[in-house]
């Protein structure tokens, strides 16, 4: 098994969620969260062990920061 590091460009669209903008042996992928996107990329590249680095553009960074700033909902 090879251990490689790949960088994947990511953007955000309100209708599609996070999606891949640059492809390097990765099929077009979209997900509602960055963690989901990373898991889909890793699954698509199996059986190789890959270190996925998501490179966010401005829109994706702003959305990530907006989500981080949201207050946590308390269970009722």
Q: Which two tokens stand for residue 47?
A: 């059986």
The pLDDT value recorded for residue 47 is: 80
The pLDDT value recorded for residue 6 is: 87
The three-class DSSP label of residue 52 is strand
Please write the tens of the pLDDT for every residue from 8-65: 999 999 999 999 998 677 888 999 999 999 999 988 888 877 888 999 999 999 999 9
- pTM here is 0.80
Q: Can you spell out the DSSP letters for 14-40?
A: TTTEEEESS-SS----EESSHHHHHHH
Q: How confident is the model at residue 1 (pLDDT cuts 50, 70, 90)?
A: very low
Q: Which two tokens stand for residue 74?
A: 């308390």
């Amino acid at each position: 098994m090879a251990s490689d590091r790949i960088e994947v460009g990511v953007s955000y669209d309100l209708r599609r969620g996070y999606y891949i903008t640059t492809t390097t042996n990765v099929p077009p992928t979209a997900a509602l969260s960055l963690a989901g996107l990373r898991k889909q990329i890793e699954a698509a590249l199996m059986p190789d062990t890959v270190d996925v680095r998501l490179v966010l553009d401005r829109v994706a960074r702003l959305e990530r920061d907006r989500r981080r700033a949201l207050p946590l909902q308390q269970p009722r």
